[in-house]
Structure 1
Amino acid sequence: MSLKQRITDDMKAAMRAKEAERLNTIRMLLAAMKQKEVDERVELDDTLIVAIVDKLIKQRKDAAQQFEGGGRQDLADKEKSEIVVLEAYLPQRLSADEVTAAVKAIVAELGACGPGDMGKVMGAVKQRLAGQADMGVVSAAVKAALAG
């Protein structure tokens, strides 16, 4: 079953179970997916959907952090509950050690050395590890690999 179909089925299940918060989050995800399809005139595959989910999670994390800084714990909690729903659609995440090993392999493959090659390495890493790792962790691993 494709990820798109799974999300649609989950929306129907949330409707039947009258889970309002979960339903709203899934609808927001479907709207973002539809927007991408319309804007770019493409049919979304699982890789593109994972990229959208990743982007939405990053937005929710940033928003939750801002709300906590502003003393609005209620809104921060809402953002965090949306993150939990969205994370169900991501593939299994790699551990920090696995990310470091993958980054080192890509750096060696590209023959990159020094901070000047950061963009080239990040581009390759994003393609290979899309949805499998937090890009903040990946960025730190790339910096460490290029510095060493």
Structure 2
Amino acid sequence: MSLLERLNTDMKQAMKNKEKDKLTVIRMLKAALQNESIKLGSELSEEAELSVLSREVKQRKDSLHEFEKASRNDLVDKVRAELKHVEIYMPKQLSEEELAAIVSEVIAETGASSKKDMGKVMAALMPKVKGKADGSLVNKLVQQHLS
């Protein structure tokens, strides 16, 4: 089942169950996917769908951080709920240990030895962990392994 089909099914279920918050998030995700599809002029691949979902998660995490900094607890709760609904559609996230193993493997493959090689490592690593790990965590682990 494609992501769009899954969203449509979940949207119908959310309507039946009168879950307004979930319905709003699903509609936002569908709109983001459809906008990306229109922008590309073709159907989205799984990788493109994952990119859209990752972008949506990142936007919400950034918003959450800003709202927490501004002590806007009303908005913090709303964004946390949205984030929870969006993360349902993301692939299972890698643990820090799994990610560290992949980072070590890629560093060995690329022959990187210093922080100068960080771009080369990140370029090889990100396609492997796209959507499965937070980019800032990946960056932090690569820096630790290269120092």
- What is the letter of the counterpart of residue 8 of structure 1? N
Q: After TM superposition, list the pairs within 5 Å mapping 1:106-121 onto structure 2.
A: 106-121=106-121
Q: If the length of structure 2 is used for normalisation, what is the TM-score?
A: 0.94
Q: If the length of structure 1 is used for normalisation, what is the TM-score?
A: 0.93
Q: After TM superposition, list the pairs within 5 Å mapping 1:30-69 onto structure 2.
A: 30-69=30-69
In the other structure, the counterpart of 2:85 is 85
Q: Which runs of 5+ in 2 are unaligned?
A: none
Q: Secondary structure at the match of 1:91?
A: coil
**Per-residue CA distance 1:9-65 (angstroms, 9 max, x = gap):** 111211121111101101111111111111122311222212211111111111111
Q: Which runs of 5+ in 1 are unaligned?
A: none
Of stretches 85-94 and 107-116 in structure 1, the one that deviates more from structure 2 is: 107-116
Q: Secondary structure at the match of 1:53?
A: helix
Q: Secondary structure at the match of 2:133?
A: coil
In the other structure, the counterpart of 1:76 is 76
Tell me, in whole angstroms, the C-alpha distance in 1 between the residues paired with 2:16 and 2:29: 18
Report runs of 4+ in structure 1 exceeding 4 Å deviation: none
Aligned length in residues = 147
Q: Secondary structure at the match of 1:132?
A: coil
- What is the letter of the counterpart of residue 64 of structure 1? L
| CA contact 1:93–1:132 (8 Å) conserved in 2 | yes
Tell me, in whole angstroms, the C-alpha distance in 1 between the residues paired with 2:94 and 2:101: 10
